[in-house]
Amino acid sequence: MTNAGNELTSLITSTPQEGRDLAVKLARKSIAEIQTDPEIRKSLRKSYAEDTAQLIASAQVVAVEFQTIAMANNYWR
């Protein structure tokens, strides 16, 4: 996996754990694409990290992104 920069160059990862990490990264990048100001994102961060409803909604985004990545990697079978 060579997604070190901001560009997504591949969905292929070596391990399922790297797939999880990529899923979290994609979810975060989606939010950064809509709220482009990093200072505002930082100030918003505390609010959702202590709001369980938003934590659960975030986990839902990660679950869908991970499903796509798992398919791409043929589930690391």
Q: Which residues bind a second copy (CB under 8 A)?
A: 7-12, 15-17, 19-20, 24, 26-27, 29-31, 33-35, 40, 44, 47-68, 70-72, 75-77
Q: Cβ of residue 70: shortest distance to a second copy, in angstroms?
A: 5
Q: Which of 32, 31, 11 is nearest to 22 (CA)?
A: 11
Q: How far is CA 7 from the centre of its chain?
A: 13
By C-beta, is 4 or 33 nearer to a second copy?
Answer: 33
As to burial, measured by CB atoms within 10 angstroms (0-12 exposed, 13-18 middle, 19+ buried), residue 1 is middle
Q: Cβ of residue 40: shortest distance to a second copy, in angstroms?
A: 6
